Amino acid sequence: MAKTKIFWIAKKVDDTMEMWAYNNKRKAEEKGLEVFGVGITDFSFNLDGVEFEDEDGFTAYISAGQIDSFGHFLLYRADAMPHAIGLEQEQAAIEYVEAELPYSAGACFPAKLKGGSCDVYMSSAVEANGALWTFEDGEVNEKVSFAQMKKDSKTKEYLAVSDAIDGAEEVSDIWNMLEPEMFEFTEEEFEDIFHEWWNLQMGYDSVKDFGRNSSFEDAHSLYLHLLPHANEKKETYTKMKHIKLFEQFINEAVNLKKDTKELQDDNYLKDFATVTLEDGVISVEMMDGENPWGDDGVVTFYWDGKMAWCEGDFSSSEYEEPVTSVSDFRDALISEEGWEA
């Protein structure tokens, strides 16, 4: 697995601590200077509890460093000091927390950060952005990790549930879209199960609203609720489903104009990238240093709805796998994984 550098900053005030981490060194330096205060120019990634007065007049302590990660990393507080450690597998991170951090608090993050950054706030409770999970006193919380959700999203059962949700206006719409052989319940039983799950949800005005705006996390939550009723007789799941999915894939044309607008409106990309569409190819020109590798020079990424490639001032590369959706293309823009060396 490729090595990824993580640049981190920590600020401690009394019994509270906040930590930030970045994939990009320059972005991390900017955050460090912001935390340290206006006029401070001697920030480095070799700070260990340097005392300073923050913008609110409180005595604060700043620390900063960098680590290598091969898949995951932890940001945490132990003995009132900030720490960061890189680990390869998520399971290894869980085992490390349970065995080595019985009186600590923090969070676990993927090495390739969504948006290039993450943070964790530790006080009487732990709150984190971009984390797979948080932990306190050696115990990992029970929230399903994003890595596990991504793994589940490739299963036949999850795909069936996700497809059924998309565009549904009534509970019966979801039922009608589910593959009959996939789950062992009647329509009445399904409605009871769905309403039991629905009563635990917040943030949706109606099933129609859910069908249009469901989040990945909520779709996965419904999948988990239905999973105990999945039919374990895999042989009954016929080849017709595969044929249906193949025909759906062939018949879905990539709306490049719509995808271009989505990328142009992306809050992360709009600050440092120029997105254009020409001759059936979307191009994303990233500013100096703003690319998955942190390389100097401008890098332009291209996508024709099927494949992605990039050309830079000093090198070029092709994405190893087909890229058939705008979300896949965006993921390729922020991750060095999948690109030919």
Number of neighbours of residue 241 by Cβ within 10 angstroms: 15
Of all residues in the chain, the percent with pLDDT exceeding 70 is 86
156 touches 182 (CB < 8 A): yes
Give dist(CA 61, CA 74) in Å, integer: 20
Q: Report, in angstroms and rounded to the nearest whole number, the Rg of the chain calculated over CA atoms.
A: 23
Give dist(CA 82, CA 12) in Å, integer: 8
Output the pLDDT for position 7.
96
Output the pLDDT for position 324.
86
Output the pLDDT for position 234.
47
Dump the DSSP string for 66-104: EEEESSEEEEEEETTEEEEEEESSHHHHHHHHHHH-TT-
Q: With a cut of 60, say whether residue 243 has pLDDT above it.
A: no
Q: With a cut of 60, say whether residue 257 has pLDDT above it.
A: yes
Across the chain, which distance is largest between two alpha carbons, in Å? 69
Could you say which DSSP state residue 227 is in?
G
pLDDT by residue (tens digit) across 168-204? Answer: 999 999 999 987 778 888 899 899 888 877 876 656 8
pLDDT band at 59 (very low <50, low <70, confident <90, very high): very high
pLDDT by residue (tens digit) across 94-136? Answer: 899 999 999 999 999 888 887 789 999 999 888 888 787 899 9
Exposed/middle/buried for residue 225 (C-beta within 10 Å: 0-12, 13-18, 19+): middle
pLDDT by residue (tens digit) across 39-55? Answer: 566 789 999 999 988 88
Average pLDDT over residues 71-75: 92
Residue 335: C-alpha distances to residues 20, 23, 113, 238 (Å): 19, 10, 8, 37
Average pLDDT over residues 229-240: 56
Q: Quote the pTM value.
A: 0.47
Count CA atoms within 13 Å of residue 113 on its CB side: 27
> Could you tell me which of 129, 131, 7 has the C-alpha nearest to residue 66?
7
Number of neighbours of residue 22 by Cβ within 10 angstroms: 25
Please tell me whether residue 259 adopts helix, strand or coil conformation. helix
